Structure 1
């Protein structure tokens, strides 16, 4: 068995407040790494989902056209909002998860069902902390994601619309975090796969890929809602018609899933290193 720790690290845990503080620091490192490594593929995905002229092309065709017409800079268009934003909201995401998880760990009895393996090694405290983290993250992430999507597709964003698509954002983020966080928690406690940095990359990348495939229709609907496509008050049936039917909900999934796997795998490696560094500095 590897550890009794949480999905984020194997280090000895301090108080809920201290883990929240460290989570803010290590999560911001995760966030910066996440954006830098995955934004080019994320831009291709957004164009395939939203932008007229790109939405019936393959990922490779979109990439070639972007490079030919706008050069390398086009792959990082709209990068600034998610770069600083990712550092903030992923820092707060990890911080809120660490706070909720540590609070549950220290304020519930060992015999409580919250701490027991109830199905496939999953402890209820992990999805509970994940939901709390998803809601906190969603409140901060939604305006930044809106600005990013508008920038990626060459549109101007407006302050009054920063929470456009907010319900889709919350549902999508919750559906994304629960399978990722629970699988990492099980792997960290039940196996030795996360004892190395490459192992952290592989497990996080695979769990992220699975989670993205599972919730991809929500990702597509979120992007359409945030960009006001086909129009700001479109119904579900109108968005489905714009996509060309149910299969259109999976448009852009290839580059999107690959981007999610790479960026989350790299982000986890950087965060695990930062968690170890924090312990070595005597911060916990």
Structure 2
């Protein structure tokens, strides 16, 4: 039971850290994207207007759902990512000649069709392990079922003022009364696209940047290990830089997709309304609130990845100690 808990712990810590640090900026971003109450042309003016008219607590409206969402969602996503990527080196050794292995090892017990399926799954697994972007996309998709309902609640709470809905919990009840369970999955396909593309891009860029910095550390010290003396571990500052850079690049590239998803879920739009929105709104308007996202995404992602790597290092050390 302890081992299962530790598998999900690094991702849970990453999600918890990102919510605590980034919630005020995320609330301002939502208001700007959806042209909600107190929304202004800049993040700073939006936050000031919200504090002036609704109080400081308005910046933390809807904190409950994202806290639950990020802890549950990130724990699952990072566990899946670690599972796919964790045995990359050993997978390369065991799958170099996977087709002959399939024929020799499983031929006595499997039929021809079952053997083909088994070999196909092995090749897909190898393909995912080879690309950090594909493994990141799979990890992102795995958390959508958890993330979508809580994200809908969070966005509608952030979009509204206290006079419209008291808090996230009353908002959840109102959604259920008005739309039923389906209301929590409004915009699911857009959410799935966003989660898959964002996680694929972010985790892929993070992994590549981290590997580059790790190799740089090794070249600086003329060893096969990192500057910390432990293989696979980077100094905190370099991990922060990798997480910060990957997150900011991802948001700049894919921000319009997040804007579409946010507007659909906050305003309860259907497919035709989304199409009309894309026709009437200029592309630049899809980047409304980008400054808030970058200010939040860069430092917050950097710090949260430092927390993730530190906790994961402790968990890996615990597993090695238990195995030894």
Instruction: Report the TM range for the smaller structure's normalisation.
Output: 0.7 to 0.9
Contact 2:129-2:135 within 8 A present in 1 as well: no
- Return the TM-score normalized by structure 1: 0.81
Question: CA 1:283 to 1:131, structure 2 compared with 1: closer, same or farther past 3 Å?
Answer: farther
Hey, what does 2:263 align to over in structure 1?
A: 224
The answer on 1:63 being equivalent to 2:102 is no
Deviations 1:190-220 (A, max 9, x none): 3236721121112101110000111100000
State the shift of 1:103 in Å: 5.7
Hey, what does 1:175 align to over in structure 2?
A: 197
| Equivalent-residue separation in structure 2 for 1:23 and 1:283 (angstroms) | 14
Q: Which aligned pairs between 1:199-214 and structure 2 lie closer than 5 A?
A: 199-214=238-253
- Return the TM-score normalized by structure 2: 0.72
Aligned pair count reads: 261
Hey, what does 2:143 align to over in structure 1?
A: 137
State the shift of 1:91 in Å: 0.4
Question: CA 1:102 to 1:279, structure 2 compared with 1: closer, same or farther past 3 Å?
Answer: closer
Contact 1:19-1:102 within 8 A present in 2 as well: no
| Equivalent-residue separation in structure 1 for 2:65 and 2:203 (angstroms) | 25
Contact 1:22-1:95 within 8 A present in 2 as well: no
| Equivalent-residue separation in structure 2 for 1:233 and 1:186 (angstroms) | 36
Unpaired runs of 5+ residues, structure 1, are 1-17
What is the CA RMSD across the aligned residues, in angstroms?
2.9
Hey, what does 2:156 align to over in structure 1?
A: 150
Unpaired runs of 5+ residues, structure 2, are 98-122, 166-170, 218-232
Contact 1:134-1:177 within 8 A present in 2 as well: yes
| Equivalent-residue separation in structure 2 for 1:232 and 1:54 (angstroms) | 25
| Equivalent-residue separation in structure 2 for 1:272 and 1:196 (angstroms) | 10
State the shift of 1:164 in Å: 0.8
Partner of residue 195 from structure 1, selected from 231, 234, 242: 234
Question: CA 1:183 to 1:115, structure 2 compared with 1: closer, same or farther past 3 Å?
Answer: farther
| Residues 254-263 or 203-212, more deviating | 254-263
Hey, what does 1:163 align to over in structure 2?
A: 185
Contact 2:14-2:308 within 8 A present in 1 as well: yes
Contact 1:19-1:98 within 8 A present in 2 as well: no
The answer on 1:249 being equivalent to 2:233 is no
State the shift of 1:149 in Å: 0.3
State the shift of 1:280 in Å: 3.7
Hey, what does 1:258 align to over in structure 2?
A: 295
Contact 2:9-2:75 within 8 A present in 1 as well: yes
Instruction: Return the structure number with greater relative CO, CA threshold 8 A, min gap 6.
Output: 1
Structure with larger Rg: 2
User: Greater helix percent: which structure?
Assistant: 2
Q: Which aligned pairs between 1:94-133 and structure 2 lie closer than 5 A?
A: 94-102=78-86, 106-108=90-92, 109=94, 111=96, 124-133=130-139
| Equivalent-residue separation in structure 1 for 2:279 and 2:48 (angstroms) | 27
| Equivalent-residue separation in structure 1 for 2:87 and 2:238 (angstroms) | 28
Question: CA 1:283 to 1:83, structure 2 compared with 1: closer, same or farther past 3 Å?
Answer: farther
The answer on 1:90 being equivalent to 2:74 is yes
| Equivalent-residue separation in structure 2 for 1:149 and 1:174 (angstroms) | 19
| Equivalent-residue separation in structure 1 for 2:36 and 2:148 (angstroms) | 23
| Secondary structure of residue in 1 paired with 2:143 | helix
